[in-house]
Amino acid sequence: MDRDFIGYGRQAPQMIWPEGRRLAVSIGINYEEGAEHSIADDGRHESVGEVMSSVPSHERDIWTESFFEYGSRVGVWRLLDILSEYAVPATFFLCGLAGERNPAVAKVIVDGGHEPSGHGYRGDEFHQMSEEEQKEEIRKCVSTIHTLTGERPVGWFSF
């Protein structure tokens, strides 16, 4: 498929939003905490966080671990409170393992009127998988989210 650098140009489509609104905002939140690579799970730590890790991959990187743990212990709850305060629904790109490790988050996403979307079972990169491995990863993620939330995710965001 060729890339498109032109788009609509000066002939942009005229959008009419519900209730005469002039703006549509889509909020998507990645919830990966607990699904990232770790010494405990993989024998290597996650190399991507706020900054690239300089810790050798076979050693624990406490900084990166704390980055992910903060998200599940504090950050996600703060975001959920803000979304609730302003009655703003969001899409949560949810890793299956992250949901299993903090099922209260998975449940409150749906209970709060937000959409759970698949984001892989683990933080594995799909371009490194065979087609069969990709299908299994999707199946496992979708099944896990459905079990945790009671809803089958219909959206997907790959790594």
Give the predicted TM-score (pTM) of the model. Answer: 0.85
First to last CA, the chain: 20
CATH number of the domain within which 58 lies: 3.20.20.370
Domain interval for residue 145: 27-149
Whether residue 119 lies inside any domain: the answer is yes
d(CA 42, CA 126): 17
Where does the chain have alpha helices with state H? 39-42, 62-70, 76-85, 96-101, 103-111, 131-149
Whether residue 44 lies inside any domain: the answer is yes
Query: Is it the case that residue 159 has pLDDT exceeding 80?
Result: no
Distant-in-sequence, close-in-space partners of 138: CB < 8 Å, separation ≥ 6: 118, 120, 156
| Residue owning tokens 């991507």 | 48
Query: Is it the case that residue 106 has pLDDT exceeding 90?
Result: yes
The larger pLDDT score, comparing residue 60 to residue 1, is at 60
The number of folded domains in the chain is 1
Residue-averaged pLDDT of the chain? 92
Phi, psi of 43 (to 5 degrees): 75, 10
Whether residue 16 lies inside any domain: the answer is no
The reported pLDDT for the residue numbered 124 is 80
Whether residue 5 lies inside any domain: the answer is no
123 falls in which pLDDT band (50, 70, 90)? confident
The reported pLDDT for the residue numbered 75 is 95
Find the mean pLDDT for residues 48-77.
88
